[in-house]
Chains A and B, each alone.
Chain A
Amino acid sequence: MRKWNTPGGVIFDSFNYIILIAFALCTVLPFIYIIAGSFSTDQELQTRAFFLIPKTFSLDAYKYIFSNGALIKSIGVSIYITVVGTIVNLFFTMTMAYPLSRKTLWGRNRILGLVIFSMLFSGGMIPTYMVVKDLGLLNSYWSLMLPGAISAFNLIIVKNFFQELPQELEDAAKIDGCNEIGILWRIYLPLSKPIIATFALFYAVGHWNDFMGPLLYINDPQKWPLQVILRQVVELSQAATVSDTNRLDPNFVTPPAQTVKMATIAVGTIPILIVYPFLQKYFTKGVLLGSVKS
C-alpha cells in the first residue's frame, strides 16, 4: 500500500483537507444563507451580517411573492414546460437512438454523420430564430421544446447503450410476432430504465433552468416561465440601486427588499435541490457512460 503517515504526508493531508473543505463550504454556504435570509426579516439582514439560522423567523417574503399572480403563474408555466418538454426530449431521443443502434440499417452511417456534423457546426442564433419564427412557433411553448428536442451528445450515448443489449432478446420477440415498435416499447425501454431516468433528469433540469429560450422566443409576459420572472425581480431591485433617478418616475415600483429577492431565488432553486439526491444517484453513471465514449 501507499505510505501516508510520514511527516510530509501529514502536512500534505492537512492542507489538502483544509482547502477541499473550504472549497466545499464556499459552494454550499451561499445557498444556506439565501434560504435562511428568505425566512428572515430585512432588519435582521441589516444588523446581522452573515447567518445560517434566522433569529426572527418570518414568512413575509414568501407571502409577498406569492401574493403576486405573475410569479405563481410562471411556476405553472415552468412545470408545464419541464414535464411536457422532457417527454418530448425522451420520445425523440429514444425513437431515434433505437434504429441507429442497428448496424444493418440502410443509411445508418449517413444519418450518424448528419448528427455528428451538427455537433461541430451550427447555424447560430439568428438563423435558428428565423426557422422558429417561420414555423409560427414564436410565443408558443413549442418554441422552448422543439428546437432542443434532441441533444446529439445524449443521443449517441443512448445509441451506444442500446447497441450493448443482447441481440437474442430481439430475435425472440420477433419470433413471437413483435414488430420493431413493440420491441422498443416492451423490451428495450424497460431494460434501459436507469439510462432513461438519467436523461429525463438532465433534460428536466435543462428545461427548468432555461432562460435563453424564453428570452429569444417568448415575448408575451403572460407566458414567461419562472426564470424570466426571477430575473425581473432581481433586476428591478438592481436598477434602483444603479440609478436613483428611477425614484422620480411616477410609475416606479418600490424595489423588492433583500428578503424578497432571496425568497424568489429560493423558489427558483428549491425544486432542483429536492431532485438533487435522485440526480446524484444516476448522474455519475450517466456522465461516465458519456466520457468513456467521447
Chain B
Amino acid sequence: MLQRLKRDIWMYVLIAPGVLYFLIFKYLPMWGVLIAFQDYQPFLGFLHSKWVGIANFKEFFISPDFMRLFANTLILSFLNLVLVFPIPVVVALMLNEIRVSLLKRGIQTMVYVPHFISMVVVTSMTYVFFTTGGGYINELVQNVTGHTIPFLTSVHWFRPIIIIQTVWQTTGWSTIIVLAALTGVNPELYEAAVVDGAGRWKQLWHITLPAIRSTIVILLILRLGHFLDNGFEQIYLMSNSLNRSVADVFDTYVYYIGLTNGEFSFATAVGLFKSVISIILVVGANKLAKRFGQEGIY
C-alpha cells in the first residue's frame, strides 16, 4: 500500500483540491445539519449551543405554516410531475416523426434556447408580458373581456404561471435525452411492423414506446429525487406579498426563516426534513423500478 501511495504521489497532489472541496463545501454542511437539533446561537457557536433534541421538528410540525407549506410544495411538485414531465416525451416523439431534417433541426434549435436563459430573465419577461401596467397579454385580455387580470399578484394565477414558465424553459432541453434514446431504436423493427400491417399509431405503441421505456423510467426516478425541489429561484422571484399564501414552499421558507429572520436551527430542521423525504423518494422509486424489471439508477 505504502508503495502504491508513493508511486502515485503526484496523483494525490492533483486530487487534493477536489477532495478538500467536497469535504469543506459538501461534508461540513452535512455535519452542520446537526444544528437542527440545537438551539443554535451564533455568538455561542456550534460547540457551545444547547442541544434540544427534536424540539425544532416538533415546533415545525405543529406550526400552522407546516400544512400550508406541505400543501404548496406537494401541489406544485405534483403538477410538475403530471403536467410538465410528459411533455418532453411527447415533443420528442413528435419531432421524431418529422422527416424534413432542416425543419427538425430548426425547431430543436429554437426550443433549446430558454434552457440557457437565467431565471431572472424568465421571470422578468413574465412580468413584462403579464403585468396589468401595459403588458401585452393583459392588453389582449382587456380587448376581449374589457378588464385586466392581475396574473402576477393573484392567488389563482400563481401556479398556472409557474407551470407555464417551467414548460417553456425546460421542455426543449429535456427532449434531448428522449431523442437520443429514440435514435437507438432498431429500424428493422419498424420494417417488420409495416410488413405485418401496423399503422403509425401501432408502431408508436408497440415499438417506439417500449424501446424508450427504460429511459423514461430513469428520468422519472431522477425527477422524483427532486420531487420536493420546486426551484428556489423561480418561486422566490415570482412570489410577492399578495400571492405568498400559495407561493411559499419549503425552500423559500428556509430562506426567509433562516437568513431573513436568523432562526438558523429551525430553518435547518425544515431543510433536513425535506432532504430526508427526498432521499426516501429516490430510494423508493428506484426499488419500485427494479421490482417492475427496469434498470434503476444504481
Contact = CB atoms under 8 A, between A and B. Distances in A.
Give the size category of B's interface with A: 35 or more
Interface residues of A, number: 103
B39 to A, nearest CB: 14
Given A12-B97, A95-B14, A122 B275 contact: yes
Contact of A238 (B17, B91, B121, B127): B127
Contacts of B160: none
A241 B199 CA distance: 55
Contacts of A284: 176
Interface string B243-285: 0000000010011001100001001100110110001001000
Count chain B CB atoms within 10 A of each CB in A114, A123, A273 and give the residue with the most. A123
B18 A95 contact: yes
B98 interface: yes
B233 interface: yes
B271 A126 contact: yes
Nearest to A115: B22
A211 B225 CA distance: 23
A147 B27 CA distance: 12
A279 B116 contact: yes
B5 interface: yes
Given A99-B14, A268-B121, A111 B177 contact: no
A239 to B, nearest CB: 9
Contact of A291 (B120, B177, B268): B177
A124 to B, nearest CB: 3
Given A95-B14, A122-B275, A131 B258 contact: no
B132 A241 contact: yes
B20 to A, nearest CB: 9
B258 A129 contact: yes
B30 interface: yes
Say what secondary structure dominates the interface of chain B. helix
A209 B27 contact: no
Interface in B214-264: 215, 218, 222, 225, 232-233, 236-237, 240-242, 251, 254-255, 258-259, 264
Contacts of B140: 49
Given A20-B107, A180-B14, A212-B233, A128 B200 contact: no
Interface of B: 1, 4-5, 8, 10-15, 17-19, 21-22, 24-33, 35, 91, 94-95, 97-99, 103, 106-107, 109-114, 116-121, 123-125, 127-129, 131-134, 136, 139-140, 152-153, 168, 171-173, 176-177, 180, 190-191, 194, 199-200, 203, 215, 218, 222, 225, 232-233, 236-237, 240-242, 251, 254-255, 258-259, 264, 267-268, 271-272, 274-275, 279, 282, 297
A111 B15 contact: yes
A178 B247 CA distance: 58
B90 to A, nearest CB: 9
Nearest to B14: A95
A272 B271 contact: no
Given A258-B128, A273-B113, A123 B232 contact: no
A209 B112 contact: no
Given A2-B203, A179-B10, 19 more contacts: A23-B107, A26-B168, A27-B111, A45-B134, A99-B8, A99-B14, A105-B11, A125-B255, A131-B24, A131-B29, A147-B25, A149-B21, A181-B13, A212-B236, A230-B120, A238-B131, A242-B241, A265-B125, A294-B297
B163 to A, nearest CB: 14
B27 A114 contact: yes
Interface in A85-142: 91-93, 95-96, 98-100, 102, 104-106, 111, 114-115, 118, 120-131, 135
